[in-house]
Amino acid sequence: MPKSKAARLREQRTRQQEYRDEQKKLRRPGRDDIARIALQWLIVNTARLAEREGNTARMNKVEEAILEKLVEQGFDPAASDRALGDLIDRYVDGGWDFRRKPHLLGSDQTPY
């Protein structure tokens, strides 16, 4: 007899939680972890290069490419521009870092 949809969903939730727990135990970064670091690296290094060269168009090109993809995904252009601008300001001017994961620190490291 086929399983009910509710039973399949319960099993799927259990499998997914076990998978997430295993990845956490292995300290294996996920797609979003890698994407956060890549975005922060791209923004900070592009801004530094643009400043060093005196070429603000370089940073604008990166911003436009990111905004174009956000709009393609259905996000509001003005809201996307504000959100990206805020993020760039935090990374470049504020020295803000990507979201920290203190649970990954070893026992000999302090989170602050």
The answer to whether 84 and 66 are in contact (CB under 8 A) is yes
Host domain of residue 95: 32-104
Q: How many domains is the chain partitioned into structurally?
A: 1
Q: Does any domain span residue 88?
A: yes
Sign (positive or negative) of CA dihedral 60, 64, 66, 71: positive
Cβ neighbourhood burial of 43 (10 Å; 0-12, 13-18, 19+) = buried
Q: Does any domain span residue 23?
A: no
Q: Does any domain span residue 64?
A: yes
Q: Does any domain span residue 26?
A: no
The token duo for 79 is 């809201």
17-76 tens-digit pLDDT = 999 888 888 888 888 888 988 998 998 899 889 889 998 888 899 999 999 999 999 999
